């Protein structure tokens, strides 16, 4: 047995050590300004077509790192290799055909049209008078097309919206026909839609055109979803993770926020949770299951109620959400019928709560005790609010029915 | 691209208007000369025995040509500096380049620094050199500052400060110099094409033609510079080279004009604006030649106005360019949001 495991391990290491062509590589890289080292010891290996997200707090040195990787700043130490050659040894014109950038600075190119701005991308391909050949024009139009901005070609750049401007700047970088595009916070001034549009565009470029994309972002969740590799910049260091999962498991997304237990990352929903709502202290018991409770929990949590819930199986999605929101959960082991003991616990928790919310979970063999629970509570004349989906669905007048939207009002009235 | 016919029309208009303005300028004055006589005199060449020919060949023509060249040079310098500093208010005068010229000319005329190179401090070639060195010194100072401060506003303030400093030194020189020299200097400072002689025109023509031609080759990197220095570099522009060339060219243009005509304000500021408005473009490949044409036409016209408005009294040409330039600049400042 031992021998067999050994063999497998060796085979994996052989595969991993297979030499690969790097689009960009840094070794012992030190970045900063003449009198101030910002980040040191950057070891980055970027493959063609990889999408790399650089994350870190403001003033952590993301921009400095990106500018150094783009050859706009000289390294204070170490080297950056582009296509195997030191980046400082490339002539500006050659470099421009390999690498394009989109920076944070706002530009004001006067009366230039979007087409003219994109055509600047052909700078290193054109002659002394920058006359565009037919091929140049085609490439400019194609670049506009790939950011879906053909219709903006003859508009003045300064009259475009922030999102449109950003697309044009990306198109300009594309017109350079680069192997690598480096973007510094391209989503900063954009609205929700444009943010995602730009990021998806960048990933498409990476996937379909094998253009390496290195982009600094503040959108943590989107970065985790989209990036192949993560670079976390903080405290004068740049840690490189081979994939977001490695970061999530080894370091933890929470560490980005430096807010102790007020922020947590949920592996299952792949989202960041915040825990900072004021406690109103009124206990509410939610009968839930199969995801019916999730939105009720969110709403109660935001309003500051103390949440108790049951009877949930530990493998129920509601159990997971409730646990993330730090609710009191009356639970049963996975795939086990609910025991009498658990039922009594739930009954006790529910009767001592001010209000009971029936989130109408589906009832099956394993959780039928929930139905019993509702009946018993009704018999004891506890106040039960049943959550229904639409206002005009048939009602049972023994209990209050309301939609989720109305729930806050109803709770307020009932408690008063 | 739809602007193509518009551009063609603009160039045609000014290519036609320019010789006409020159013809007018040569024809109008205390001695009115009809067009056909002007053309006759020009075709037949200088004839010392003919009064019309003498007026045209030794007074009006050199003066007009100097104004035309000067206007072109200042306008092109203005276009370049406005792009260079990414500030529409930049012009050679505002950045103290002309003040530097004044100071060095003052050193020559007022303090009599000749370095033993020339016999008289009024020697035009020497003044040209002094003016050029003054402009170049201030330009170099501004560029050095620009690499340190990086902020456009700071740089403009620095330019103004350098201007004040040069003016202060100049006024001390004026205070200490004797009256004859001060008069000669004041005459230079007021700015006039009246003193233009053929001897000025040769170095000036060479300087302006060289400057404008060289600036045409900078139009491409200048278009990239419209975005930002970092963007330009990422597009393949050799920033250092372009910076140095631009400064050398603007210094050459500014000083070559300043030394002959004194500091002529507003042409360098207003003409690039007008060119941009007329062409509805920021493409320097168009703006540089267009500004040259427009600048020379406007300046010839201003010179004409300067010597005919209150004839026989001659107004300083700077006064005319400012009188017409100020309202234009104010109007454009108000409209700046759309530029």
d(CA B322, CA B333): 15
C-alpha triplet A335, A341, A347: angle, nearest 5°: 105
Query: What's the pLDDT at B213?
Result: 94
Supply B133's token pair. Answer: 């060195």
Query: What's the pLDDT at B79?
Result: 92
* pLDDT higher than 60, residue A6: no
Phi, psi of A384 (to 5 degrees): -115, 130
Name the average pLDDT for chain A: 85
Residue A215 Ramachandran class (φ > 0 left, ψ -120 to 50 alpha, else beta) = beta
> pLDDT digit string (tens) for B274-305?
888 888 888 999 999 999 999 999 999 988 88
Q: Do A93 and B234 touch (CB under 8 A)?
A: no
* pLDDT higher than 70, residue A9: no
Supply A378's token pair. Answer: 């009704």
Of the candidates A72, A115, A120, which has its C-beta nearest B223's C-beta?
A120
Tell the CATH topology of B68-338: ABC transporter involved in vitamin B12 uptake, BtuC (1.10.3470)
Q: Which of A73, A88, A92, A152 to mutate to test the interface with B (most CBs of B within 10 A)?
A: A92
Task: State mean pLDDT over A168-184.
Answer: 93
Among the residue ranges A197-201, A385-389, B31-35, B328-332, the one predicted with the least confidence is B328-332
For A24, A102, A220, A262, A264, the CA distances from A233, given in Å and listed in that order, are 18, 19, 13, 22, 20
Q: Which residue of A has its CA nearest to B278?
A: A111
Q: Do A109 and B226 touch (CB under 8 A)?
A: yes
What strands lie across the sheet with A180-184, from one edge to the other? A99-102, A180-184, A212-217, A51-55, A229-234, A237-241
Query: What's the pLDDT at B2?
Result: 45
Q: Are strands A24-33 and A355-358 parallel, antiparallel or unpaired?
A: unpaired
Q: Which of A97, A126, A130 to mutate to test the interface with B (most CBs of B within 10 A)?
A: A130
- Residue found by looking up tokens 């009198």 in the block: A35
* pLDDT higher than 70, residue A414: yes
What strands lie across the sheet with A24-33, from one edge to the other? A36-46, A24-33, A77-82, A85-86
* pLDDT higher than 70, residue A12: no
Q: What is the ipTM of this complex?
A: 0.82
d(CA B79, CA B276): 9
- Which chain A residues are within 8 Å of B236, Cβ to Cβ? 92-93, 95-97, 123-124
* pLDDT higher than 70, residue A49: yes
Query: What's the pLDDT at A2?
Result: 47
Exposure string (b/e) for B123-159, b if CB count within 10 Å is 16 or more? Answer: bbebbbbbbbbbbbbbbebbbebbeeeeeeeebbebb
d(CA A372, CA A330): 15
CA distance A297 to chain B (A): 49
CA distance B142 to chain A (A): 22
Q: Name the pLDDT band for A137 (thresholds 50, 70, 90).
A: very high
CA distance B335 to chain A (A): 13
Query: What's the pLDDT at B151?
Result: 62
Query: What's the pLDDT at B124?
Result: 66
> pLDDT digit string (tens) for B130-183?
877 887 788 778 767 766 766 666 777 887 888 889 889 988 988 888 888 888
Q: How many CB pairs under 8 A join A and B?
A: 81
d(CA B110, CA A103): 51
Phi, psi of B280 (to 5 degrees): 50, 45
Phi, psi of A177 (to 5 degrees): 50, 55
Enumerate residues 56 to 115 of chain A having a beta carbon within 8 A of any beta carbon in chain B: 67, 70-72, 92-93, 95-97, 99-101, 103, 105, 107-112, 115
Supply A397's token pair. Answer: 């007048």
* pLDDT higher than 80, residue A116: yes
Q: Do A99 and B223 touch (CB under 8 A)?
A: no
Q: Do B228 and A176 touch (CB under 8 A)?
A: no
Q: Do A92 and B217 touch (CB under 8 A)?
A: no
Helices B61-84 + B267-279 axis angle, to 10: 70
Query: What's the pLDDT at B339?
Result: 46
Q: Do A92 and B2 touch (CB under 8 A)?
A: no
- Which residues contact residue A21 at a Cβ distance below 8 angstroms, ignoring those fewer than 6 apart? A47, A48
- Torsion A249-A251-A256-A259 (CA) sign: positive
Q: Which residue of A has its CA nearest to B221?
A: A123
d(CA B34, CA A342): 116
Q: Do A128 and B238 touch (CB under 8 A)?
A: no
CA distance B223 to chain A (A): 8
Q: Name the pLDDT band for A212 (thresholds 50, 70, 90).
A: very high
Task: State mean pLDDT over A385-405.
Answer: 71
Of the candidates B2, B220, B236, which has its C-beta nearest A96's C-beta?
B236
Extents of the domains making up chain B: 68-338
- The domains located in chain A, with CATH, are 24-256 (3.40.50.300), 283-415 (3.40.50.720)
């Amino acid at each position: 047995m031992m021998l067999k495991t050994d063999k497998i391990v060796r085979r994996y290491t052989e595969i991993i050590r297979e030499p690969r062509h790097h689009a960009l590589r840094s070794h012992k890289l030190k970045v900063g300004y003449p009198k101030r080292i910002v980040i040191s010891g950057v070891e980055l290996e970027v493959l063609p077509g990889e999408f790399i997200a650089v994350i870190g707090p403001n003033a952590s040195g993301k921009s400095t790192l990106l500018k150094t990787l783009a050859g706009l700043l000289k390294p204070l130490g170490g080297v950056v290799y582009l296509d195997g050659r030191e980046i400082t040894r490339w002539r500006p014109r050659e470099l421009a055909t390999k690498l394009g950038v989109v920076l944070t600075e706002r530009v004001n190119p006067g009366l230039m049209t979007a087409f003219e701005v994109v055509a600047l991308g052909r700078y290193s391909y054109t002659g002394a008078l920058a006359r565009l050949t037919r091929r140049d024009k085609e490439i400019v139009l194609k670049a506009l097309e790939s950011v879906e901005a053909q219709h903006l070609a003859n508009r003045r750049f300064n009259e475009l919206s922030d999102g449109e401007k950003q697309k044009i700047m990306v198109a300009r970088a594309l017109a350079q026909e680069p192997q690598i595009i480096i973007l510094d916070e391209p989503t900063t001034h954009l609205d929700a839609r444009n943010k995602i549009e730009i990021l998806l565009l960048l990933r498409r470029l990476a996937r379909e055109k094998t253009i390496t994309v290195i982009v600094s972002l503040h959108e943590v969740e989107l970065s985790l979803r989209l990036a192949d590799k993560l670079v976390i910049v903080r405290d004068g260091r740049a840690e490189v993770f081979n994939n977001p999962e490695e970061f999530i498991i080894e370091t933890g997304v929470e560490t980005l926020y430096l807010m102790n237990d007020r922020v947590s990352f949920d592996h299952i929903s792949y989202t960041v949770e915040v825990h900072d709502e004021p406690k109103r202290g009124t206990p509410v018991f939610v009968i839930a299951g199969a995801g019916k409770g999730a939105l009720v929990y969110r709403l109660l949590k935001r309003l500051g109620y103390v949440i108790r819930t049951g009877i949930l199986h530990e493998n129920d999605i509601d159990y997971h959400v409730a646990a993330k929101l730090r609710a009191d959960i009356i639970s049963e082991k996975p795939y086990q019928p609910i025991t009498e003991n658990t039922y009594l616990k739930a009954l006790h928790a529910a009767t001592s709560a001010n209000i009971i919310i029936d989130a109408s979970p589906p009832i099956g063999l394993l959780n039928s005790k929930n139905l019993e629970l509702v009946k018993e509570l009704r018999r004891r004349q506890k106040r039960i609010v049943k959550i229904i989906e639409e206002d005009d669905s048939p009602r049972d007048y023994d209990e209050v029915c309301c939609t989720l939207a109305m729930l806050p009002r109803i709770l307020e009235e009932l408690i008063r | 691209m739809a602007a193509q016919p518009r551009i063609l029309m603009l160039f045609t208009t000014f290519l036609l208007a320019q010789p006409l303005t020159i013809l007018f300028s040569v024809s109008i004055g205390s001695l009115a000369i009809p067009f056909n006589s002007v053309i006759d005199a020009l075709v037949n060449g200088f004839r010392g025995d003919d009064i019309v020919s003498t007026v045209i060949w030794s007074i009006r023509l050199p003066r007009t040509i100097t104004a035309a060249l000067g206007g072109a040079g200042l306008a092109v310098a203005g276009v370049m500096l406005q792009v260079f500093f990414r500030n529409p208010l930049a012009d050679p005068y505002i950045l103290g380049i002309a003040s530097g010229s004044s100071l060095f000319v003052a050193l020559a005329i007022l303090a009599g620094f000749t370095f033993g190179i020339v016999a008289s401090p009024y020697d035009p070639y020497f003044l040209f050199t002094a003016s050029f060195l003054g402009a170049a010194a201030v330009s170099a100072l501004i560029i050095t500052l620009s690499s340190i401060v990086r902020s456009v506003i700071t740089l403009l303030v620095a330019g103004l400060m350098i201007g004040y400093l040069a003016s202060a030194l100049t006024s001390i020189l004026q205070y200490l110099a004797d009256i004859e020299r001060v008069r000669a200097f004041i005459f230079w400072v007021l700015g006039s094409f009246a003193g233009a002689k053929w001897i000025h025109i040769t170095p000036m023509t060479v300087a302006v033609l060289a400057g404008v031609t060289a600036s045409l080759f900078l139009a491409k990197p200048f278009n990239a510079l419209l975005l930002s220095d970092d963007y330009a570099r990422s597009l393949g522009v050799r920033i250092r080279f372009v910076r140095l060339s631009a400064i050398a060219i603007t210094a050459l243009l500014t000083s070559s004009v300043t030394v002959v005509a004194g500091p002529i304000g507003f042409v360098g500021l207003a003409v690039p604006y007008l060119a941009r408005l007329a062409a509805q473009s920021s493409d320097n490949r168009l703006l540089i030649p267009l500004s040259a044409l427009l600048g020379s036409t406007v300046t010839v016209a201003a010179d004409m106005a300067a010597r005919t408005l209150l004839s026989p009294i001659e107004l300083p040409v700077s006064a005319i360019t400012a009188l017409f330039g100020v309202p234009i600049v104010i109007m454009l400042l108000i409209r700046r949001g759309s530029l």
